[in-house]
Amino acid sequence: MSSDLVVVGAGIVGASVAYHAARAGAAVTLVDAGRPGAGVTAGSFAWIGASGLRTGPAAALRATAAQEYRRLEAELPGLPVTWSGSLSWGTTDVAPETGPGQEVVDAATVARLEPALRQPPEWAVWAPGDGAVDPVGVTERLVAGARAHGARIRPDTPVTAVSWNAAGRVVGVETAAGPLSAATVVLAAGVATAALAAPLGVRVPVGPSPATLFQLGAPAGLVRTVVNNADFDLRQVAAGRLLAAADSPERTLAAVRSTFRGAENAELLRARVGLRPMPADGEPILGPVAEAPGLYTAVLHSAVTLAPAVGRLIARELAGGAAEPLLAGCRLDRF
pLDDT in tens, 224-245: 999 999 999 999 999 999 999 9
Q: What is the mean pLDDT of residues 213-229?
A: 96
Nearest to 312 by CA among 145, 197, 128: 145
pLDDT for the residue numbered 98: 82
Q: What is the mean pLDDT of residues 130-145?
A: 97
In the chain, pLDDT over 70 holds for what percent of residues? 97
Residue at 248: amino acid letter: S
Structure letter (DSSP) for residue 117: B
pTM for this entry: 0.95
pLDDT for the residue numbered 51: 55
For 104-134, the pLDDT digits (tens) are 999 999 999 999 999 999 999 999 999 999 9
| Pairwise CA distance, residues 188 & 217, whole Å | 34
Sign of CA dihedral 26, 316, 165, 36: negative
End-to-end CA distance of the chain: 35
Q: Kindly give the residue spans of alpha helices, DSSP state H, lying in 149-299.
A: 193-197, 249-259
Nearest to 98 by CA among 108, 86, 112: 86
| Pairwise CA distance, residues 187 & 199, whole Å | 14
Residue at 235: amino acid letter: R
